Every structure is written in C-alpha cells, then in structure tokens.
Amino acid sequence: MTKKERAVHIVEALKALYPDSVCSLNYEKDYELLFSVRLSAQCTDARVNLVTPELFGRYPTLEALAAADVADVEAIIHSTGFFRAKARDIVLAAQMLLRDYGGKVPGTMEELLKLPGVGRKTANLVLGDIYHTPGAVVADTHCIRISGKLGLTDGSKDPHQVELQLRKVLPPEESNDFCHRLVLHGRAVCTARSPKCAACVLAPWCKSFQQ
C-alpha cells in the first residue's frame, strides 16, 4: 500500500470518528481568527478562548485594534505568554490590514506572510478555514507528531517539511480538515504521554503501532 493509499484510509477513518472538523479557536470575524492563532503560539487554544472575548469586546473593530495602546492589549492577553510580542504584532497587523489590504484578511500565502507575527502555520489555517484553499496543511504539534507516527511523513519535526510531505500524500480537498481532526485525535486518543493505541481506529494503518 502506498502512502497516498494509506492516507486515504486514514482520512476516511478520521472523518467517521470526527464528522465535525472545526477549528478549536472561537472567532466571528476573519481577522479574529488571524489574531487568535497568533495568541495560541506556546499557549493552549482553551486559554486563548478565555482571553479573546475581552480583547475583541474591548476592541470590537479592526480600526479599534489598530488604534489600541499596546500596553492595554498586553494586559488583556498577559496569560497567553509572550504577551509583549503578541500585543505588538496584533496592533501592527491590524494597522497593516487597514493600510495595505483594505481592511480584509488577504487570501494568499505570500500576502499573509507579510503580516507581523504570521508564519506558515497561521497562514495555512487562515487559507484553509476562511478561504477553503485546497492543500492547506496546518503543521502544529499534533499534526507533526501523529503524522510521523502514522508514517505519512519521515518523522521530521520541522513544520515546513511536514507541510510539504503531507501535501504530497493527502487529497488536497481534505488536508485542512485532516489537520483539525488530528488535533482532536491527539487530545482524545493519540496523546503524547500515553497514547491509547489498542483503542485507536488508525491502528491498522499506523507504522508506529505495527512496529
């Protein structure tokens, strides 16, 4: 069985197990997702979801965020860690969205990567969730770890390499939802410390389990 064939089986098993493949970050507006992902760096999505209601309640528009005092933003997002860099990036990105992109979150990798604090993980999540771009791969910690265990990648820990390797084997229209489902699976079954391999629906196609 080729990697592509195994990937299809894995995708279908995950779809059956997690039919609702939703992003675990709460947001209503496109730019809110962009900034929520920035806050999630070195922080849990659950913590971010506790912080963002106050942030977006205090600054309900992109214009308000662009004009925000960085110190005030720091105070609101303090519990997410690395709050100084995150606050600076959010305010600067809000200003750039208004100045350079007409107040809209851009829909290309090249444009997204120009925004302060935006890397490939954030850009791929935005492209997949907002623009439904085929082939978007969000190489977060769950994706990197579990893809390596499954043998869909060579075990690389480099997010860009994992992204490129997964793009070669995943059906493009399934790649974004696949990554969301791996997050759910990584929390519920294939945990980092004590994976429940005997109860895992992916065991028949998992290289780590077979070894």
Give me the architecture of the 30-129 domain, per CATH: Orthogonal Bundle (1.10)
Quick check: helix, strand or coil at residue 143? helix
Confidence of residue 149 (pLDDT cuts 50, 70, 90): very high
What backbone torsions phi and psi does residue 84 show, to the nearest 5 degrees? -70, -50
> CATH 1.10.1670.10 spans which residues of the chain?
3-22+135-210
CATH number of 3-22+135-210: 1.10.1670.10
Indicate whether this model's pTM tops 0.75: yes
Q: What is the helix, strand, coil percentage profile of the chain, to 5? A: 65, 0, 35
Question: Which residues are annotated as catalytic?
Answer: 121, 140
Q: What pLDDT was estimated at residue 85? A: 98
Q: What pLDDT was estimated at residue 102? A: 98
What tokens appear for 208 in the block? 């780590």
Secondary structure (DSSP) of 131-169: S--TT-----HHHHHHHHHHTSS-S---HHHHHHHHHHH
pLDDT in tens, 8-66: 999 999 999 999 888 999 999 999 999 999 999 999 999 999 999 999 999 999 999 99
> CATH 1.10.340.30 spans which residues of the chain?
30-129
Q: What pLDDT was estimated at residue 47? A: 97
Mean pLDDT within 65-77: 98
